[in-house]
Amino acid sequence: MDKLLCDELVQEIFQRLPPSTSSSVSLVSKRWLYLYRTSKTSLSLRLTPHDYTIPSLSSLLSHYPFLSSLSLLLAPDPTTTKSTTFADHLLLLVSSFCPQLHSLRFLAGPVSLSSLTSLSAACTQLTYLCINLSRPLFLVWILNFPSLKELSILVCCGEGLEQAVDGNTEYGFCADDDSDAELGLESLCLSGIGADDWGLGWLWRSCRKLKKLQFRSCEGIGDGGSFSSFVRCLQGVQEVELRTCRTIIDGVLVKLAENCDSLTSLLVYDGGSREGLLRFFSQSRCNLQKLDLRLPLDLKNDHLLAVTMNFRSLSSLKLQSCCLVSGEGLRALGAALSSGLEELALVNCDVVEREPGLLSTLGQNFRQLRKLDLSYNEMLVDKELASMLVSCNYLVDLRLRGCKGLTNAAMVSVFKSCKYLENVDIIRCCGIQAEAIEFFVMNSPQLRQVQVEQSKISDAAKTWASHKFIEAVA
């Protein structure tokens, strides 16, 4: 039986198996073990910083010759410290054994320029790269990756100063060099950048094809905080994310309003002053379609009014922990965006619980909603939810995670009003019991995924879900 199928067909079958069951086929026979390994194109590993890690990784990678995607993460160990030398050894192994990589996520510590040079020579097809770097930053090595489209850099403190300085001399570039390049990067994510990280100006001037830009835990944009080079990469940018970057958010928003007409998606997480947000909402000339504001402590009704005046093409609006927004602002938003909004999130927004009837009004305004997220509104009750859902008949995705005030009656309302629902999240909804979930699962023809505690899924519901290809996620 083992020899009836050719190798190519067996490998094709292995590639189509779900991840939860695919590894078990390697236990059938040595042939299947070999074919399973050679059919794998993606691998994710969590390593430990010990001496035996390097030979073990070498042996492991030698069995997976056709990897196109690899993720290596070094687990934290308080008894050891990450070194550039150790990370370099690991990266050299990747260069040696994985020449067909298209995607590499390498978070095993800061790497040197010499190891990056070896990687660029071996993995010429890399389109995505995520790495750690030490200060000072010398970024001209990016030129050696002509196919690179997505780059993520996490700056960390530690060993690596000597290697970076030597590499700088070797490449013949200085941190403040005025020379520009033509990089093919379309997506750039920077984490841990400070105002005194010189050399970023070269990167900004060389990234003229950027479509997506992300800042995470950054205290500056480099080069002493100057925005003169930064603005040169903004033309054509469509998506911007600013996560926990309080010191630079206002400056970035100003430059986006002045220099980026192509922006369609903006995410701000934990930051943005009242004046900075209002200036962007009032002055930006872009056709914003997606707006995601999480923990914007200064967000008030006047901000929402500015959004209604300037961004009437919004299709997605997400608000999280907006404690100063009232029903007046949300109702004005509903009236202005009634025809186009397809996704709405009001996560942990106490105005949902504070003003009875608000959800009913929003439901009547947003009848075209496809996705609705009301997670972590702990005092949300069945009646208020039902009053909104009765008008939102086209929902395909509903998230109610952490809404402890909901009961079984809420699931009855969801069933009656949301006939097209495909995904629902009701984890941590203490008042919703197993019998209501069983009723909902067995009577929702379009359902494809339900997120709920395993203890609440009855045997009958599990059997029905397996027959109807409904995924139950805990």
How confident is the prediction for the chain on average, in pLDDT? 88
Tell whether the model's pLDDT for residue 326 goes beyond 60: yes
Our CA angle for 98, 100, 101, nearest 5°, is 75
| Mean pLDDT, rounded, for 255-267 | 97
Strand, coil or helix: what is 141? Answer: helix
Residue 399 has φ and ψ, to the nearest 5°, of -120, 120
Give the residue from 249, 240, 244, 295 showing the smallest Cα distance to 272.
Answer: 249
Residue 18 has what pLDDT?
Answer: 67
Contact 450, 426 (CB under 8 A): yes
Please give the pLDDT value at position 161. 38
pLDDT (tens digit per residue) in 18-50: 666 666 766 667 776 767 777 788 999 999 888
The proportion of the chain whose per-residue pLDDT surpasses 70, expressed as a percent, equals 87
Cβ-Cβ contacts under 8 Å for 408 (sequence gap 6 or more): 431, 432, 433, 435, 436
pLDDT of residue 355: 92
pLDDT tens digit string along 63-89? 888 899 999 998 876 665 556 788 999
- Residue 20: its pLDDT value, please? 61
3 pLDDT tier (thresholds 50, 70, 90): low
pLDDT band at 171 (very low <50, low <70, confident <90, very high): very low
- Per DSSP, the residues of 147-188 read T--EEEEEEE-SS-HHHHHHHHHHHT--TT---------SEE
Q: 435 pLDDT exceeds 50?
A: yes
Does 443 score more than 90 pLDDT? yes
Distant-in-sequence, close-in-space partners of 116: CB < 8 Å, separation ≥ 6: 91, 131, 141, 144
Q: For the chain, what are the domain ranges?
A: 1-39
Average pLDDT for 398-417? 97
Predicted local confidence at residue 296, as pLDDT: 79
Q: Which has the minimum average pLDDT: 112-116, 160-164, 290-294?
A: 160-164
Closest CA to 148 of 175, 106, 120, 171: 120
Q: What is the phi-psi region of residue 109: left when phi exceeds 0, alpha when psi lies from -120 to 50, beta otherwise?
A: left
Query: pLDDT (tens digit, 9 = 90+) per residue, 114-131?
Result: 999 999 999 999 999 999
Which is more confidently placed, 451 or 181? 451
Q: Supply 403's token pair.
A: 């809404």
pLDDT average, residue stretch 184-206: 92
Residue 450 forms beta bridges with which residues? Answer: 424, 472
Give φ, ψ of 408 to 5 degrees: -60, -30
Q: What is the per-residue pLDDT for 49?
A: 83
Topology of 1-39 in CATH?
Answer: Monooxygenase (1.20.1280)
Q: Provide the residue type at 278 as one letter.
A: L
CA pair distance 7, 33, nearest whole angstrom: 12
E runs forming strands in 200-322: 212-216, 239-243, 265-269, 290-294, 316-320
Closest by CA to 237, choosing from 266, 211, 261, 256, is 211
How would you class 368 by CB atoms within 10 Å of its CB: exposed for 0-12, middle for 13-18, buried for 19 or more? middle
156 by Cβ neighbours in 10 Å (0-12 / 13-18 / 19+) ranks as middle
Q: How far apart are CA 45 and CA 43, in angstroms?
A: 7
Q: What is the mean pLDDT of residues 398-419?
A: 96
Bridge partners (DSSP) of residue 103 are 69, 128
* Number of Cβ atoms within 10 Å of the Cβ of 198: 17
How far is 77 from 67, CA to CA, in rounded Å? Answer: 28
* H or E element, residue 424: strand 423-425
DSSP annotation of 136 = S
Q: Express each pLDDT in 338-378 by its tens digit.
A: 889 999 999 999 899 889 999 999 999 999 999 999 999 99
Paired with 343 in beta bridges are 316, 371
pLDDT at 191: 96
